[in-house]
Every structure is written in structure tokens, then in C-alpha cells.
Amino acid sequence: MDATHRPIRSFVLRQGRFSPGQQRAYEMLMPRFGIPFSPVFLDLDAVFGRNAPKILEIGFGMGETTARIAAEHPENDYLGVEVHTPGVGALLKRVDELALTNIRVIQHDAVEVAREMVPPGSLAGIHVFFPDPWPKKRHHKRRLLQQAFAELLASRLAPGGYFHVATDWQEYAEHILATLGAVPALENSHAGFAARPADRPETKFERRGRQLGHGSWDAIFRKRTPSQGDDP
């Protein structure tokens, strides 16, 4: 079996609190901004109605960071993938409040979305911010960023496109750095970890952790260009 067709999920579905505002946004806006899962490559320009750089954001949580980045970068289009309904509703509520037009949402497993819906070479960037670290060793197989998935994601980047991962779990950060570093199509943009870029907003949980003396780590890689020996 292809390793990208893994039956082990990197998430556990939890309903969580679904506020009336989130539910209203979900019901009203998902038909406009949501894309149903289908095992067919998307025409991303047609989905967004324009030709602009496309950024894939995997696991956007409650969507605050996604909405802020999209608002600050109207020149880009953002495709967010999230499985948890309250988070989707929360992002759509922010989309409405900020009158954003450059976000679309797929509520489905990111592995299947990347494999079945995102065309090869179509992305200018990928964001994976604070994925579940699954800290217990027996759960490491559930971690999102395994070698096969990292290679699949790299294939969806256009040459020169970036792959940005952030985590507040040091052991997972080191695993991520090693995993991305082993993907032939990628090269590290920094000597090891990167400082948090100004265009990745600090989350409230990250800020609270920093105040308690906890760290966070950013890894930023780029897709090699054909002249660097990568396949086009």
C-alpha cells in the first residue's frame, strides 16, 4: 500500500463547543466558501475566480491566524483544510466580519485533500501551524508530518514555493526538521530553525507559553528549482 494511503489518522474528531455565531456562519457561508471533497484535481484559479498565488493551510484550528494572514495579504489566495466543525465555523465568521474574499475551505482529511484535489506544482506555499504533536511515543505514528506526506506536499509546490511549519513541541520540531530535510525536492531556507517571520502572527497560546518560558520553532523550506537538480 502507498504510504500516503495510510489508514492512521493524524486527528481525532471532537465536536467541541459550537457557538451560535459559528453555527450561523457555517450554515450561511459554507455553501459560498466551502468546497466539498471530491477525488478530482481542482482548478484553483477557477475556484477563487482569479490568477493569484495559492497557499494551502493545513489544520487552521479556529482560523484566527488564517483570517489575519489573508486580510494582510489580499494578493494571495488561501485554501484552508480543517476537519473540526467549530473551527470551520469560527473561520467563516471571521471571513464575514473582515469581508474576506480570498479564503476557501475544505472540511476533510488533509492527506486525502492533498493527494486527490491539489494539483502537482500548483501551490506558492504551504502552512502547517501547530499540528498535534502526539507526544507519547506510541502515538508518533499519528503525527501529520511523516516522510511520505511531506514528499506528497512537496510535489504540490511550484518550484521556489515555500513550506512553513511551526510547533511549540521541541521534540516534534526536531522530527519536522529532519523529515523535511530528507525530502530531496526541498531545501532549508535557514541554517536549522528560522526565527518566527513577521507575517506569521503569534497565537494567543504561543504568547501565553512564551510568558511561561516555553518555546516555539519555525521550519521554512523551499521547493528546489529545476536548475538545482529537482524535477520540474
In a domain, 91, yes or no: yes
Domain-located, residue 16: no
Residue 10 lies in a domain: no
Residue 15 domain-assigned (yes or no): no
pLDDT at 144: 86
Rounded to whole angstroms, how far apart are CA atoms 170 and 182? 18
For 105-119, what is each residue's pLDDT tens digit?
999 999 999 999 999
Kindly state whether residue 174 falls inside one of the protein's structural domains. Answer: yes
> Which pLDDT score, from 0 to 100, does residue 11 have?
45
76: left (phi over 0), alpha (psi -120 to 50) or beta: beta
Q: pTM here?
A: 0.88
β-bridge mates for residue 223, sequence order: 186
Q: Tell me which residue has cell 473561520.
A: 91
pLDDT for the residue numbered 138: 65
CA Rg value for the chain: 17
Regions in the chain scoring below 50 on pLDDT: 1-6, 10-13, 139, 230-232
- Number of domains the chain is built from: 1
132 counts as catalytic: yes
What integer pLDDT is reported at residue 157 of this predicted model?
Answer: 98
Per the residue annotation, which of 109, 132, 168, 230 is the catalytic one? 132
> What's the CA gap between 154 and 188, in Å, rounded?
13
Structure confidence at residue 232 (pLDDT): 45
Q: For position 76, which CATH number holds?
A: 3.40.50.150
CA distances from 95 to 32, 45, 163 (A): 11, 19, 24
**For residue 196, is it within any domain?**
yes
Confirm whether 195 is domain-assigned. Answer: yes
Residue 12 lies in a domain: no
Range of the domain at 69: 23-228
Amino acid 14: pLDDT = 57
Q: In the prediction, which pLDDT does 1 show?
A: 43
